[in-house]
A and B are shown apart, each in its own frame.
Chain A
Amino acid sequence: MLTKIPAVATSLLSMSAPPRTAIAFIRSAASGFDRHRHHRLRSASSTTRRLDDARRANATMDFSSSRDRSIYWNREDGTSSSSVDGPSSSFRHEGPIVKEARILALCDPNDVNNEPLYAGTLPEGCTLLGVGSSLADFVREGDGSISGRHPNVIFVSHPRPRETLLEILDEYPSVEWVHTRSAGVDHVMSDGLSNSHVRLTNAKGMFSSTLAEYCMMACSYFAKDLPRLMRQKANGEWTPYPITELRGTTLGIVGYGDIGKACAKLAKAYGMAVLGLRRTAQSSSSLSSSSLSSSSSSSSADAYCDRVYHGTDGMHEMLSRSDYVLVSAPLTEMTRGLIDGEALSKCKPSAVIINVGRGPIIDEIALVEALTNRTIRGAGLDVTTVEPLPRDSPLWKLDNVLLSPHNMDMTRTFMRESTEFFVNENLPRFVRGKTLLNPVDKSVGY
């Protein structure tokens, strides 16, 4: 089982910049895609048993271990296309309320983005018991103590919630469901959480189109050689030079999920070819035979992606064919350090790497080397291994790097919209015992 990773790996996971020896270990673990698939298959039965137990214990929580894609939210569609429960916008308020939602918010009480939760009208059956950033904030003496009221939902919008969340789960075993305001859950995941019975949902799909806009801008930034344009402007120099088009080039997406699809949609409109890298072959059941195949590529995932790759060999092949590489994967044990020196060496010398996933997915030392030696053309980094980026990082002074402070999805309203999603979409579903949107598969970490 993935959860039985040796202690050394667990401690490595909590490090922000794993040293080289650790990278070798993680890489060997990550490169064994087949091995992990087999691990999960072996453990699937025990997972199913656990879920069956959970199902029996709480008949209202329905969660399928096979990735039912219809229960993922996408902001542009405005709805989930849940085939289980019908169109979202009307149904979620239909049906009898079968239980209460008693909510703890692991948040900053002064965060105005959470106003829909703190001060807004909550859906019927929902109560906010308390807001705090540590267990101490929730533990109260005397009447009205929180434990007496059996909180069953935790809403998380905290920068480093991993340990605190475990403490809170320990303190209030009545909690069934944890929802994060962010799409990334790497800052929340832990063995304790994976082993627990709580259901985890997140904000997948909330920010994808904004990041897709950034992705196309980053591609264009290098295609039109904006670094050169900036240099010329600084010198007041008028020198026409040839530019390249995006049309006809290839975008390779590492981690073809919701963000990847949003980028692919735009890339296709530009006339680019799109390749995607996924953990498994997507099908109606994750246990289908296609996930066992050792081939490194399969037929197209959807209308926007021309070809899907799997595994390390697949990734190398995809990188060798890509003019622009988008990293939009979540940070998990499998993806940490995934884009290493070897992967970078497979890239075209004209390749541009864009990272909107998580910094640690790319080996930053190898990346800096590749950028300095121009073995790749450039990089657009919205995320880095350490954030804020330390002042002495060589990335600051590299001309062929577009840096942004992890804000390329940060619109004025995006966090508020994410809280609204929790309040307006998932809370009504919870109290009516319906399938929650955006489930996170704790066994794989996203």
Chain B
Amino acid sequence: MDAFSSSPSSGSPSQQFSADDFKDQLKTQLAQAYAEEFLETLRGKCFEKCITKPGSSLSGGESSCISRCVERYIEATGIISKSLFSAPH
């Protein structure tokens, strides 16, 4: 079974890949690709901000910085989104 089929490979006419199947698969895969890219950005930004001198384990300070960083970055994404798509001053 390849990434785009939702039926077993015997492919009888009653199990054809429908337009709705295609749309669902496309939406799912786009959402997954977006999530992976977002996570990769988060890792990069928060490592840069929070782990200035890598030690032999993550300190409590580093862990809480990372949590705050994730929250702030998600918040920043919302702020940017809103400023682009609401009425300009």
Is this pair of chains taken from one and the same complex? no
- Chain B contact residues, CB within 8 Å of chain A: none
